[in-house]
Amino acid sequence: MSRSWTGCGAAGKRGDTMMRYLGLFLIVSTVTSCGISSSAAQDSTRPQDKTATSGSADELMGFINDQIRQGWTDNVIKPSAVADDGEWLRRVSLDVVGHIPPIDVVEKFFADKDSAKRAKQIEILLDDPAYVRNWTTIWTNLMIGRSPPRRTSRSGMQKFLREAFAKNRPWNEIVYDVVSAQGHFEQEGAVNYLLSQITGNNPNSNDYVVQATAKTTRLFLGIQVQCTQCHRHPFNDWQQNQFWEFNSFFRQVRRVDHRRYDPVSERMVDDYSELVFRDFTGPVYYEERSGLMRVAYPKFFDEKVDSGPAIDRRTELAKLMTTGEQPQIAQAMVNRMWGHFFGYGFTRPVDDMGPHNEPAHPELLNRLSSEFVKSGYDVKQLIRWIANSEAYNLTSRFGKGNKIDNPAAGEVPLFSHMYVKQMQAEQLYDSLIIASDAHKSGRLNWDESERQRQQWMRPFVMAFGTDENDEATTFYGTIPQALMMMNGELIENAVSTKKGSYLRRVLEKRGSDATKIRKLYLSSLSRAPSRNELAATSKLIQQGRNTKLSAYQDLFWALLNSNEFILNH
Amino acid sequence: MKLEVPQDMTRRHFMRHLASSAATIPTLEFISHMQANAAQVTRNQKACILMWMGGGPPTIDIWDLKPGSKNGGEFKPIDTKGGLQISEQMPNTAMVMDNLSVVRSMSTREADHTRGRYYMHTAFVPNQTVVHPTFGSVVSYELGGQRKELDLPSFVSVGGGSGSPGFLGMMHAPFVVGSNGDVRNANIDGNDRMRLNNRLTMLSLIEANFINSNRGDSPKAHKDVYAKAVNLMTSQQMQAFRVTEEPAEMQEAYGQNKFGRGLLMARRLVETGVPFIEVNDGGWDMHSGVFTSLRNKLTLQDQGISALVNDLRNRGMLDDVVLVWMGEFGRTPRINANVGRDHWARSWSVMIGGGGLKGGIAVGGTDEDGVDVIGKSYLPGDIWATVASALGIPLDTVHTSKRGRRMVLANGGRPIKELIG
């Protein structure tokens, strides 16, 4: 166990080596989590005889479901029941296309009697234009942040990703482009990833691409190395020399910030930026804590690259990262993707993998990663495997039989029920638009709706102002978020009763109060009200002090402000 | 002792009402109740103001100068009203240094921004399975619940970046405001109050079902945060955020800049009863041109810190309010090729004072080049234990995470002897 996992075997075997370690961890984790609850076996949330499928015929589904089931058996827990149609549809829509389902989709789905309708729905969502928008948003935020530094083009980054997700380009190709890109920040949008990571304006400084080094390992390889810049990693086995060997791949970059004369203001203003090749050969020099200077040559795990002048090091790095039987980028992507759908990946956090951090379900992670590679790094296929799984099909309600499966309390996730997730700011914004049917009237073009959404989120995003360009949001579950949801302009518009507004249209249609209340529940919570809810709500509407219109307005306001709306469950 | 979550959200009449109003229509009165106890100014309650220097301040140029060393830099030390010297860039602070002390022997290991920020705020090293509460949340948890008259959140962060409440729950999350004191979406007029009443009744009906559906803690946490937000919307205490209502000369004294206004707001919040305020000042990540940057920055620091100390003293509040000044780490004694200083956690300083702590002293020290601590060194837990003892929070307080892991206050740090009266 003491050997460095990064230092074992040939490049193509890296994954296998890592997996051997992970296998050991599986044994450890199984032992430590045995016997948590002996009473758990006695009560059942549902009979555990039949796998709850989505109707997918994919061969891999059996393996995925068996692996997860094994975890339930080993830990003596009973999985939750299958989520009902409304809960499942809402969740899968939020996760795949980034917003709740519109009411017409909900009603159509409820009416569909096909036993494979969930698998069918996943296909519909994967083909939805909102799929492209959602994954572009997710990866733009991951790569350059919600408030990228000055002279980075967010729209350039988005354009690159939008095209990539629209064509369902293989994930290794996307990574290849991002790591090796050069050129104009709007024409070659992939360069914005590195532009956003460059520190200062001196390419000779060791700081220049330190962040690019750390972020690239974290984001694409799922390994955290930022500490090894100065010393050996306290937990994983990365050494300081490995950091600088990896760093030396990025030393041939230079950013050029062009300026131009603006005749209106009669001043020089920012024009475009670009990432260009910089003539750099030989080693990188770095300082050990003892003060000793050392050299590092470009080396990726065990793969050395010529440090001579004729070599484009980033292209070499991009090749090394994206080829082989099971490169680390596949593991990292599978882990991150699983985490996206379940709220918890196989490791916690998803971007800190390695022998120091035992994954839950190592065999599943391993198999999914190699299948992902075999599929040609097909991102949509990876989503199909995850979203069609039995575990993803379950309700977020837990029972006595699986209440110990609680990763929020620090337990290793067993995926015996869905975990409640906070909605991302973008998901909430888009869902409010969908719920109030504002997406149909006056549909905006991509850039304009993007601009409005960014503007709405701005008060919640806070940049730390360090050279790492890290940021936090004050969005999730905070008082400012509650105030915005209660009193903000977006909500005011959503519950507007002006002529032509959604509420007005619902209320002007003929029908009973019950019908109208049902419509508002379906638009916001993707489910019909229960009998008790309907009775209580009708009473409130009929007894209201104000007009019926305003009583309905208050109901819709309450639905949109409810925990059930604001959480992804 | 093991502490339970205080039931502070159910303390109010209107909250009890909300909780039990599942399918009934409440009277209009309950919102007007909320104003009944407003405007009660609470003085002489214990509080802590954390001045957070995001990015890592070069304390070797501010609190622990090394004249004559190759690492010494461009600034000279000057005498102060206390028994220690500080940077010549801080002349006004020097005049109040009898109230403030400097711990010059911090040695904290974490020199990465994210890890350092976490460690200094929580006293715990980052860990994969638990999120430790930032210390403002700990104080909010320990003291906030006791302050029945406080409508405002008991942990306010001016400028943000103050970390997470971790397992103590979103009720103790930092409430982030900008230094202009503008709290968005919090103003409602009388008419809207009736509307709000109707809406909250509907809301509690819908929420209750979801809370009872066995999906973990987040549905209930949502309800609690909403209650707190309603509390805020209807409170007179919101005035505490309005710095511009201070006399012009007071605003001038603190400085018409983000840091100065933040400190002035902190003083107003302390007067209202808020036990923990963090004022964030960023831009300390000085990898290049450190002395040029410092000349600008320290002028504002000097003005703000000295104004705050003088103001608290004049109001008789200084003995009740602990002041802490720190960032995630210090910066390298060695000056780099870009005339900058890089990340350095091995030997650096934290300034601390007020709250009845001993002022005017330097605790510990570093060698002549500022590279190593001489003698005993201190960790963030020791700083927070010192703060806790000044605030009257028992040091044997234990918080228990949901998983049942017991965590001793301030990670078992001990109050720094020299500072305790």
Are A529 and A561 found together in one domain? Answer: yes
Q: Give B360→chain A minimum CA distance, Å.
A: 32
What share of chain B has pLDDT > 70, as a percent? Answer: 88
Q: How many domains does chain A have?
A: 3
**Is the pTM here over 0.95, yes or no?**
no
Same domain, A197 and A311: yes
Q: How confident is residue A468, by pLDDT bands cut at 50, 70 and 90?
A: low
Residue type, position A304, single letter: K
Which residues in chain B are contacts of A546 at CB distance < 8 A? 198
Number of CB pairs, chain A paired with chain B, less than 8 A apart: 197
pLDDT category at A544 given cuts 50, 70, 90 is: low
A90 located within any domain: no
Residue A10 confidence (pLDDT) above 60: no
> Which of helix, strand or coil describes residue A267?
strand
Distance from CA of A487 to the nearest CA of B (A): 5
User: Under a CB-based contact definition with an 8 Å cutoff, are residues A109 and A67 in contact?
Assistant: no
Taking contacts as CB-CB distances below 8 angstroms, the residues of chain B near A567 are 218-219, 222
Please check whether residues A497 and A365 belong to one and the same domain.
no
Residue whose structure tokens are 């007005």: A504
CATH (domain of A562) = 1.10.3130
The answer to whether the complex's ipTM is over 0.85 is no
Q: Which chain A residues touch B196 with a CB distance below 8 Å?
A: 486
Q: Answer yes or no: is A89 within a domain.
A: no
pLDDT above 90 for A228 = no
- What distance in Å separates the CA atoms of residue A561 and residue A551, rounded to the nearest whole number? 15
Q: What is the pLDDT of residues A189-199, one digit of tens each?
A: 999 999 999 98
CA dihedral A483, A484, A489, A491 (to 10 degrees): -90
Give the pLDDT confidence score for residue A348 in this predicted structure. 86
Q: Decide if A316 is inside a domain.
A: yes
Tokens 């305020």 correspond to what residue? Answer: B277
Query: What is the reported pLDDT for A130?
Result: 95
Closest residue on chain B to A474 (Cα): B176
User: What distance in Å separates residue B45's CA from the closest CA in chain A?
Assistant: 24
Q: Within a domain: residue A500?
A: yes
Q: Mean pLDDT check: name the lowest of A222-231, A363-372, A379-388, B117-126.
A: A222-231
Residue A527: CB atoms within 10 A of its CB come to 19
The per-residue pLDDT of chain A, averaged, comes to 86
Q: Are A494 and A563 in a shared domain?
A: yes
Do residues A396 and A484 share a domain?
no
Same domain, A343 and A388: yes
Q: Which residues of B touch A540 (CB under 8 A)?
A: 25, 201-202, 205
pLDDT digits (tens, 9 = 90+) for B44-85: 699 999 999 999 999 999 999 999 999 999 999 999 999 999
B353 phi and psi, to 5 degrees? -170, -175
- pLDDT, tens only, B213-231: 999 988 998 998 898 899 8
Residue A112 placed within a domain: no
Looking at CA atoms only, how far is residue A410 from chain B in angstroms?
A: 5
Give the range of the structural domain holding residue A436, as residue numbers without chain letter. 425-568
Rounded Cα distance, A507 and A519, in Å: 10
- Rounded average pLDDT over A49-77: 89
Q: For residue B39, what pLDDT is reported?
A: 35
What is the CA A127 to chain-centroid distance, rounded?
A: 19
The pLDDT value given to residue A28: 33
Q: Say which amino acid occupies B126.
A: P
Structure-token pair, residue A117: 């309708």
Is there a domain that residue A343 lies in? yes
Q: Which of B203, B212, B346 to mutate to test the interface with A (most CBs of A within 10 A)?
A: B203
Residue in A464, A486, A545 closest to B54 by CB: A464
Q: Are residues A450 and A504 in the same domain?
A: yes
Contacts of B104 (CB under 8 A, 6+ apart): B63, B64, B349, B362, B363, B364, B365, B366, B373
Q: Considering only alpha carbons, which residue of chain A is nearest residue B189?
A: A487
Whether A60 and A195 share a structural domain: no
pLDDT-based confidence at A236, cuts 50/70/90?
low
A283, A158: one domain: yes
pLDDT 10s digits, A241-270: 889 999 999 999 999 999 999 999 899 999
Q: Burial, A349: exposed, middle or buried (Cβ in 10 Å; 0-12, 13-18, 19+)?
A: middle
Q: Of B103, B155, B65, which Cα lies nearest the Cα of B420?
A: B103
Question: Residue B40 — very low, low, confident or very high, per pLDDT cuts 50/70/90?
Answer: very low
The whole-number pLDDT of residue A15 equals: 38
With a pLDDT cut of 90, the percent of chain A lying above it is 62
Supply the pLDDT for residue B158: 94
Alpha helices in B235-368 (DSSP H): 248-254, 258-272, 290-314
Instruction: Tell whether A459 is covered by a domain.
Output: yes
Closest approach of chain A CAs to the CA of B318, in angstroms?
A: 30
Choose one of A322, A338, A365: the last residue of a domain: A322
Contact A200 B287 (CB under 8 A): yes
* A168 & A238 share domain: yes
Same-domain pairing of A434 and A300:
no
- Chosen for mutation from B21, B180, B185 (greatest number of chain A CBs closer than 10 Å) is B185
Beta-carbon count within 10 A of A265 CB:
8
Beta strands in A334-452 (DSSP E): 421-422
Q: Can you list the domains of chain B with their CATH numbers?
A: 43-188+234-419 (3.40.720.10)
Q: In this structure, are A181 and A234 located in the same domain?
A: yes
Give residue-wise pLDDT tens across range B392-407. 999 999 998 776 778 9
The model's confidence at residue A85, banded by pLDDT at 50, 70 and 90, is very high
Does A557 sit within 8 Å of B199, measured CB to CB?
yes
From A62-66, A317-321, A442-446, A531-535, the region with the lowest mean pLDDT: A442-446
Residue B385 has a pLDDT of 98
| Residue A120, domain member (yes or no) | no
